[in-house]
Amino acid sequence: MMNLNVTIDQNSGFCFGVVYAIEMAEDILEEHGHLYCLGDIVHNDEEVKRLQAKGLEIISHDDLLNIRDANVLIRAHGEPPSTYQLAIENNLTLVDASCPVVLKLQNRIKNSYDKGDQIYIYGKHGHAEVVGLLGQTNDDAVVFQELEELDVASLPKRITLYSQTTKSTDNFYNIKDQLTAAGIEVNANDTICRQVSNRDKELRDFARKFDKIVFVSGTKSSNGKVLYNICKENNPNTYFVSNKSELDIQWFTPKDSIGICGATSTPMWLMEEVRDELHSF
């Protein structure tokens, strides 16, 4: 036995928006035994498998075109107006688990668009939340992941800047400062979820406390990639796993102190499984 000293970060795991969506799904599955979900309910394969075993059926937007007279869950990322219109046409009952933070952002973007603002969104191309945000502008807004994607010299002299809710706060303000320095008037709207952004500092402190860090996340999670890199920067002995089977005993030495943490899409039960596996080494 290696006698590893293992601690789970109690601030890691599901954000309230994901908790809300999963609780809604579980309630309906308990009552009806089946529920369609538009896209992965959370970017974590292990949690998706758990809910699929209860009767959750993941569908795509293409699938949705051919489904009628059914219940369909909208996950925390939110959806564009076109999805709600299709639901009316196909007599679908939408179980709307859109995160309140995302819904508020959608409304702000729509109001800006209706006023004629030139809208730029700092976010990941093709991300479900960003697709929903773009939909508020009839896809007229400009989405960019890096400032280098924009030809700053040809930008309008005044723009309205928003952010996907899970992006880095520091990066958002760096972008605003660089655009301002280039002579552009930026109406910056900090729409980043503080429950997510505050994890940056919390994880920096957490990662430094241990010999090794095991970061647990689904490979599809954008937030997971960001937070894993934060851990790695603050503790080079950080390892990424999606589940307990990916742990390698060779990463550890006897009596190591190990911190376990994860993304906002990582369930606590999965981190507990990783902890128990480490205790068995």
71 sits in the region (left: phi over 0; alpha: psi -120 to 50; else beta) called beta
Let me know whether 133 and 211 are in one domain: no
Measure Cα distances from 222 to 41, 61, 219 in Å. Answer: 14, 21, 8
Let me know whether 185 and 229 are in one domain: no
Spatial distance between the Cα atoms of 215 and 271, rounded to a whole number of angstroms: 9
Let me know whether 35 and 118 are in one domain: no
Let me know whether 188 and 200 are in one domain: no
| Per-residue confidence (pLDDT) for residue 226, from 0 to 100 | 85
Domain boundary among 58, 78, 99: 99
Domain boundary among 192, 217, 238: 192
Spatial distance between the Cα atoms of 99 and 13, rounded to a whole number of angstroms: 16
**CATH code, domain carrying 254:** 3.40.1010.20
**CATH code, domain carrying 36:** 3.40.50.11270
Structural domain range at position 67: 16-99
In contact, 31 and 71? CB cutoff 8 Å: no
Let me know whether 105 and 188 are in one domain: yes
Give 43-101 pLDDT, tens digit per residue. Answer: 899 999 999 999 999 999 999 999 999 999 999 999 999 999 999 999 999 999 999 99
| Per-residue confidence (pLDDT) for residue 261, from 0 to 100 | 97
Let me know whether 52 and 92 are in one domain: yes
Using CA atoms of 166, 78, 216, 226 in order, give the dihedral in degrees to the nearest 10: -20
Stretches where the chain sits below pLDDT 50 are none
Let me know whether 9 and 21 are in one domain: no
- Return the H-helix or E-strand segment holding 259: strand 257-262
Provide the domain count of the chain. 3
Nearest to 230 by CA among 205, 259, 204: 204
Whole-model pTM: value is 0.86
| Per-residue confidence (pLDDT) for residue 198, from 0 to 100 | 80
Q: What is the distance, to the nearest Å, from the Cα of residue 241 to the centroid of all Cα atoms in its chain?
A: 17
Catalytic residues: 129
Nearest to 260 by CA among 10, 8, 12: 8
Residue tagged 């095991």 (tokens): 214
| Per-residue confidence (pLDDT) for residue 15, from 0 to 100 | 86
Let me know whether 157 and 214 are in one domain: no
